[in-house]
Amino acid sequence: MTGQLTALLDQHKAATGVSDAELARRIGITRQNLSLWRVNGLRRLPEREHLDAVATVTDRPYAVVLAAALHDTGYAGVGDRPYEVVYADTVRVLTEAARLTWPARRFIPDAGWVTDPDATPEPIDWAQFVAHALTAAAANVGGLDRALAGRPGSWEADGVRGLVTGTGGDDLAGRRTEPLQIVINPDQVLADLGYLAVYDASAQALVDERRQHVWVYTAVAEGWVPDSPDAPPPEPRPADIPLGSQMYVPRTDDDERALDELDDHENALHDLELDDIQRYGHRLRQTLIDHAHAAGIAVDVIIARDDRPTPASLDPDLDEKIAAAVLATPLPSGLLPEDYPDQKFADIDRAAERLPHQRARSRPPELAPRKPR
């Protein structure tokens, strides 16, 4: 259960390599509490000192950290407050900002600019405050077009567009103060690439291998017809066996043992496919986080564990971000998508003897996926 606050912490952890124990120590909480934040989400708003520490550790403004914590605890849900309440809060915050002051400063040779406690405090740059706040808000919802969708042709919209564009430029991604939520379904991603064909190829290879150890008999009106003249005579065909049915009989005792081993290989192939998809999903998630971090964007990447399609994003550039991450993430074979010309995944892996069933057979026992007990 990943929340906005833990997304900020996980992004910092990915960028710095800090351990959970050290991260918890810097925040002033136990490692167990940090783990509970990730697993169960925030049940209540953390203490102010801990939120201050998160802001310091992640190098994020306190307002961003507080907004994330409020969101995770349900105090600042999206779309659950009426227009009038949000408007009143906005006016209150802007009024509070208009009354903010900076301590006056004076220049001292050899010391530079220092605070002057005897001088009258100076008002903040309120216009800059408003411009940056509007830019961050537009970035959070996915861009100006979405923010101004209510009445894009109004004179107010033109004014806001000019102000935000002048402040943040055309690409507002780096201005987000909320983590960008991305939902990925690794099974769907691999299917869209066409990579899942390698598991079908492995399954067919095991079927072909199985046929080498059996006599195949087909039911006809006269009884059973073998697929080879060397096959021994079969038992009479029971009357309830439909015509066209096939019967598989182990050729020898050694073949019967080989078939038992093939049963194990087929089970191992199924387990490996599930394990491959899970591991690929985690690698793709990390690539998305790394790309977003390089662009100065906090992200909350959720791995879908069902067959529902990935939901549409509020960020118009999200498809491009995911596509770039997919191209940069190694597939279960260890190669990148670009290493497979014309997406001939099965043909290339077959030639290199790294189809999934071949990888499963060469996998050390300690690395083989284990079924949950």
What's the rounded mean pLDDT across residues 115-128? 89
* Mean pLDDT value across the chain: 85
Q: Provide the pLDDT for residue 2.
A: 62
Burial 282-312 (b: 16+ CB within 10 A, else e): ebbbebbbbbbeeeebbbbbbbbeeeeebee
Cα separation, 321 vs 281, whole angstroms: 15
Which stretches does DSSP call E strand in 18-130?
A: 101-102, 105-108, 112-115, 122-123
Average pLDDT of the residues in 201-212: 93
pLDDT score recorded for residue 193: 93
Average pLDDT over residues 46-55: 91
Average pLDDT in the 139-159 region?
91
In 3D, which of 171, 187, 167 has the Cα closest to residue 315?
171
Provide the pLDDT for residue 77: 52
What pLDDT does 308 receive? 46
* Interval 65-84: pLDDT, tens: 888 888 888 765 545 567 88
Of 180, 248, 183, the closest CA to residue 212 belongs to: 248
CB-based contacts of 273, cutoff 8 Å, min separation 6: 199, 356
Closest by Cα among 127, 164, 167, 130 to 146:
164
pLDDT at 80: 58
pLDDT in tens, 225-261: 998 899 998 888 888 899 999 999 999 999 999 999 9
Amino acid at 85: V
Please name the residue that has the structure tokens 């102000």: 163
Cβ neighbours of residue 249 under 8 Å, at least 6 residues apart? 214, 215, 217, 234
Q: Mean per-residue pLDDT for 105-121?
A: 84
- H helix or E strand, kind and range, residue 214: strand 214-220
pLDDT given for residue 373 in this prediction: 35
Separation CA 26–CA 17 (nearest Å): 14
177 versus 373: which is more confidently predicted? Answer: 177
For residues 95-119, average pLDDT: 87
pLDDT of residue 370: 45
* CB contact at 8 A, 73 and 44: yes
Which class does domain 4-73 fall in? mainly alpha
What are phi and psi for residue 7, nearest 5 degrees?
Answer: -65, -40
Residue 331, burial from CB neighbour count under 10 angstroms (0-12, 13-18, 19+): buried
pLDDT given at position 317: 64
> Domain segments of the chain: what residues?
4-73, 101-177, 188-213+252-367, 214-250
Q: Measured between alpha carbons, how far is 66 from 286 in angstroms, rounded to an integer?
A: 25
pLDDT (average), residues 96-109: 89
Question: What pLDDT, on a 0 to 100 scale, did the predictor assign at position 76?
Answer: 58
At residue 5, does pLDDT exceed 90? Answer: no
Tokens of 45: 């708003």
Asked if the model's pLDDT at residue 364 lies above 70, the reply is: no
The Cα 81–Cα 78 span in angstroms is: 8
Q: Is 216 helix (H, G, I), strand (E, B) or coil?
A: strand
For residues 116-122, give the mean pLDDT.
85
Identify the H or E element spanning 250: strand 246-250
The contacts of residue 237 (CB under 8 Å, 6+ apart) are 219, 223, 224
Count how many Cα atoms sit within 13 Å of the Cα of residue 284 in the half-sphere of its side chain: 30
CA torsion 297→174→143→155, rounded to 10°?
150
What's the confidence (pLDDT) of residue 320? 80
Q: What is the mean pLDDT of residues 21-47?
A: 88
The pLDDT score that the predictor gives to residue 38 is: 83
- Ordered DSSP codes for 130-182: HHHHHHHHHHHTTSHHHHTTTSTTSHHHHHHHHHHHHHH-S--GGG-SSPEEE
List the helix and strand counts (H, then E) for the chain. 15, 9
Over its C-alpha atoms, the chain yields an Rg (Å, rounded) of 31
Note the Cα 357 to chain centre separation in Å: 27
pLDDT of 222 reads: 86
Residue pointed to by tokens 């049915």: 245
pLDDT of residue 239: 85
Q: Over the stretch 286-332, which tens digit does the pLDDT of each residue have?
A: 998 888 878 777 777 777 655 444 444 445 567 788 889 999 999 99
What contacts 139, CB < 8 A, 6 or more positions away?
Answer: 168, 172, 173, 174, 175, 176, 177
Residue 372 pLDDT exceeds 70: no
